């Protein structure tokens, strides 16, 4: 069955450092992958989408890589700030057709320490 795995343990890093979060998936061949941010008690907020034919995408301090051979995406936040503290979710579309169904990973909680 299709599975999305994110590190369930919280990631604590010092302000100013680069945070790197991992998303691994199995039994998928997604056309794209998305990253969302979720704050406690709030809905997810879209951050970035990367298509399967792209290896890397950047947006301001964010960088996402997508390795379809390893079936892995890495999400980087450079020069991290306490305001970046949140849970980060990766999301993939349903495997075959059905683009409207997006499946979320469990998320990784990031804590940026001042």
By CB under 8 A, is residue 114 in contact with other proteins? no
Q: Which is nearer to other proteins, 40 or 114 (CB)?
A: 40
Burial 63-93 (b: 16+ CB within 10 A, else e): bbbbeeeebbbbbbbeebeeebbbbbbbbbb
Report in angstroms how near the CB of residue 17 gets to other proteins at its nearest: 27
By CB under 8 A, is residue 30 in contact with other proteins? no
By CB under 8 A, is residue 42 in contact with other proteins? yes
Residue-by-residue DSSP string for 12-33: EEETTSPEEEEEEEES---SEE
Binding mask 86-105 for other proteins (x = CB under 8 A): ---x---xx---xxxxxxxx
Q: Give CA–CA dist 54/7, Å, rounded.
A: 23
Classify the C-alpha dihedral 24-90-8-10 as positive or negative.
Answer: positive
Report in angstroms how near the CB of residue 75 gets to other proteins at its nearest: 16
By CB under 8 A, is residue 7 in contact with other proteins? no
Contact set for other proteins, span 45-84 (CB under 8 A) = 45-46, 49, 51
Q: Give CA–CA dist 34/93, Å, rounded.
A: 9
Give the residues lining the site for other proteins (CB under 8 A): 31-32, 34, 38, 41-46, 49, 51, 89, 93-94, 98-107
């Amino acid at each position: 069955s299709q599975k999305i795995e994110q590190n369930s343990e919280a990631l604590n890093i010092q302000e100013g450092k680069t945070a790197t979060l991992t998303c691994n998936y199995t039994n998928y061949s997604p056309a794209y992958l998305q990253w969302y941010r979720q704050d406690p008690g709030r809905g997810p907020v879209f951050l970035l989408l990367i298509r399967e034919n792209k290896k890397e995408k950047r947006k301001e301090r964010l960088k996402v890589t997508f390795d379809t051979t390893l079936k892995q995406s890495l999400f980087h936040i450079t020069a991290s700030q306490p305001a970046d503290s949140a849970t980060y979710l990766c999301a993939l579309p349903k495997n075959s057709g059905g683009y409207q169904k997006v499946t979320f990973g469990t998320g990784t909680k990031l804590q940026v320490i001042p």
